[in-house]
């Protein structure tokens, strides 16, 4: 029971926004600088980094706060609207921002937006806009979700803070997937409380379209009050000393000839062995949905590369207990656990292996298409462009990316070296499209599958998995201790099935 006597539900999942108040952020940076540590760039990054800390003591030491704004799974209580949720969260004792309003129409929404925009600089935290939501929860269910966002909510941003400064130089950054990104080095300028010295120029097309040159005076804003962005060059103040920029024809790190697919603005270094890509590619290679090497995370990979123990991707399979134990925070037991995980990863599927290679445009779905169409790694590697583009679900950009990746001799050598280390790839089996066009939602715990494995089984059979129940849902798979989705499915008349029926639907015994 809450402090005011309001009954609490049996189970409630509360959702909120974690933030650092501006005054606390300034004090945090003052302490860090006094202790010789670098200051955080802005409160948002500081809050996000604090939450992700593996050491909970570090998280606890940061001045984090939270505003609750919604609920997920609830058992023992029914809500009818967003407004009801906010009022009840307050009664249950959660912190809810008082800057909210129940608006009757679009005009009232805009009035609220403009009023908050005027208060923006006086608020005790950073804010970049307003979120408008449909109030009635039943209407939200009918409207459903897009791939990345709900149809019943929209963010309306405030105008970004802008300043002018000068581009001192343009350099090229090479990302994990080999993308070459031009970056403007700026004369330092303060925008919205943060000092900005670098800004991505995205690609050559963007530079040409805006006619941005080295030496230009430019208008800078922080998109979403976070990411520095070059809005335009101020051509009227040019002196004639400004220089045009052109991306190089070869990778600035490894010297490989860069690749640009027709119609795609981003230029790539296709060399999987490029040193600039090494750390990111290893982290991705080891990730759960790829080779699933537990313990091989970003910090350890950075140590391995910086110490020279790993110079090429296959080197991770040559590591010894002695080498690993010599690293910071790595005892012999942890070292042996990592070696065991590396050994276990050698037995894998073609889908996982293709996904692990960080081929541009090849995510899990495309990797599965390739695996099920070709069956073997050799067949994928030797496939021509025309054969690739003929596969349903693979367009010209993906086909060109796959064809060029396997056409690069150094990439083929890295793959050969991985296979020489003992990686064994199961031949892919094509699953019948028994769920083609169907939408599936899971609720509760399954015993024979992890949630990711169950979703993979649905997708392999042509189905789609979503996180919420709507009138477009075909099946709700109900596991142990289901949440509110089970009740929603019953109210909407959606077919509910248990785990055994789900297996039958997949065609598994």
- Measured CA to CA, the distance from residue 284 to residue 457 in angstroms comes to 22
Q: Where are the domains of the chain?
A: 11-157, 162-237, 263-428, 439-506
Predicted pLDDT of residue 147: 63
- End-to-end distance of the chain based on CA atoms, in angstroms? 47
Q: Provide the CATH number for the domain formed by 162-237 in this structure.
A: 2.40.50.140
Instruction: Please check whether residue 183 is in contact with residue 149, taking contact to mean a CB–CB distance below 8 angstroms.
Output: no
Instruction: Please check whether residue 342 is in contact with residue 314, taking contact to mean a CB–CB distance below 8 angstroms.
Output: no
Q: Which residues contact 479 (CB under 8 A, 6 or more apart)?
A: 442, 443, 444, 445, 446, 447, 498, 499
162-237 and 439-506 in the same fold: no
**What HEC string does 430-459 produce?**
CCCCCCCCCEEEEECECCCCCHHHHHHHHH
| Residue ranges of the chain whose pLDDT lies below 70 | 1-5, 147, 193, 223-226, 428-433, 508-509
- Measured CA to CA, the distance from residue 380 to residue 394 in angstroms comes to 13
- Measured CA to CA, the distance from residue 414 to residue 344 in angstroms comes to 20
Q: Which of 397, 399, 405 has its CA nearest to residue 358?
A: 405
- Measured CA to CA, the distance from residue 403 to residue 63 in angstroms comes to 50
Predicted pLDDT of residue 434: 76
Predicted pLDDT of residue 329: 81
Percent helix / strand / coil, the chain, rounded to 5: 40, 20, 40
Sheet holding 475-478, edge to edge: 464-465, 439-443, 475-478, 495-497
Predicted pLDDT of residue 224: 61
Angle at 351 between CA 345 and CA 355, to 5 degrees: 80
Task: Compute the CA torsion angle 117, 120, 126, 127 (nearest 10 deg).
Answer: -10
Q: Provide the CATH number for the domain formed by 439-506 in this structure.
A: 3.40.50.10190
Q: Would the pTM count as exceeding 0.75?
A: no
Instruction: Please check whether residue 412 is in contact with residue 402, taking contact to mean a CB–CB distance below 8 angstroms.
Output: no
The three-state secondary structure class of 274 is coil
What letters, b where the CB count within 10 A reaches 16 and e where it falls short, cover 115-140?
ebeeebeeeebbbbbbebbbbbbeeb
Q: Which CATH class is domain 263-428?
A: mainly alpha
Architecture of domain 11-157: 2-Layer Sandwich (3.30)
The three-state secondary structure class of 429 is coil
- Say which DSSP state 464 is in: E
Predicted pLDDT of residue 509: 36
345 burial level (CB within 10 Å; 0-12, 13-18, 19+): buried
Give the tens place of pLDDT for each residue, 268-302: 898 888 988 999 999 999 999 999 999 999 889 99
Predicted pLDDT of residue 482: 86
- Measured CA to CA, the distance from residue 462 to residue 457 in angstroms comes to 9
């Amino acid at each position: 029971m809450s402090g005011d006597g309001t009954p609490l539900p049996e189970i409630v999942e509360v959702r909120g926004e974690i933030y650092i108040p501006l005054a606390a952020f300034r004090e945090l940076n003052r302490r860090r600088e006094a202790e010789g540590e670098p200051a955080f760039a802005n409160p948002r990054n500081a809050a996000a980094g604090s939450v992700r800390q593996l050491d909970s003591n570090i998280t606890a030491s940061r001045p984090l706060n939270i505003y609750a704004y919604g609920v997920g799974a609830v058992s023992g209580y029914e809500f009818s609207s967003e407004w009801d949720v906010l009022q009840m969260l307050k009664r249950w004792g959660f912190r809810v921002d008082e800057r909210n309003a129940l608006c009757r129409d679009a005009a009232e929404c805009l009035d609220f937006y403009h009023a908050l925009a005027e208060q923006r600089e006086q608020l005790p935290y950073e804010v970049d806009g307003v979120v408008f939501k449909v109030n009635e929860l039943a209407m939200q269910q009918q409207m459903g979700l897009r791939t990345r966002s709900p149809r019943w909510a929209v963010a309306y941003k405030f105008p970004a803070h802008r300043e002018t400064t000068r581009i001192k130089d343009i350099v090229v950054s090479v990302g994990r997937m080999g993308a070459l990104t031009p970056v403007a080095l700026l004369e330092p300028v303060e925008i919205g409380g943060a000092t900005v010295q670098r800004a991505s120029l995205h690609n050559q097309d963007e530079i040409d379209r805006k006619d941005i040159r080295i030496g230009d005076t430019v208008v800078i804003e922080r998109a979403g009050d976070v990411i520095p962005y070059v809005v335009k060059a101020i051509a009227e103040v040019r002196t004639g000393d400004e220089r045009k920029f052109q991306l190089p024809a070869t990778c600035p790190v490894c010297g490989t000839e860069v690749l640009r697919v027709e119609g795609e603005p981003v230029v790539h270094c296709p060399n999987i062995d490029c040193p600039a890509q090494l750390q990111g590619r290893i982290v991705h290679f080891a990730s759960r949905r790829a080779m699933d090497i537990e313990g091989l995370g970003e910090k350890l990979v950075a140590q391995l590369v910086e110490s020279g123990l790993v110079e090429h991707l296959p080197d991770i399979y040559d590591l010894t207990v002695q080498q690993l134990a010599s690293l910071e925070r790595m005892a012999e037991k942890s070292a042996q656990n990592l070696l065991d995980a590396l050994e276990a990863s050698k037995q894998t599927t073609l889908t996982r292996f293709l996904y692990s290679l960080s081929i541009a445009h090849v995510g899990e779905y495309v990797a599965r298409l390739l695996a099920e169409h070709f069956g073997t790694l050799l067949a994928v590697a030797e496939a021509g462009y025309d054969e690739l583009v003929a596969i349903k679900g693979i367009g010209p950009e993906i086909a060109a990316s796959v064809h060029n990746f396997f056409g690069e001799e150094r990439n083929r050598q890295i793959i050969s070296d991985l296979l020489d280390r003992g990686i064994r790839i199961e031949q892919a089996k094509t699953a019948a499209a028994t769920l083609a066009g169907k939408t599936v939602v899971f609720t509760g715990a399954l015993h024979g599958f992890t949630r990711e494995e169950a979703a993979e089984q649905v997708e392999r059979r042509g189905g789609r998995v979503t996180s919420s129940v709507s009138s477009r849902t075909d099946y709700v798979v109900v596991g142990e201790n289901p949440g509110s989705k089970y009740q929603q499915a019953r109210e909407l008349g959606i077919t509910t099935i248990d785990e055994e029926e789900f297996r039958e639907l997949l065609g598994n015994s």
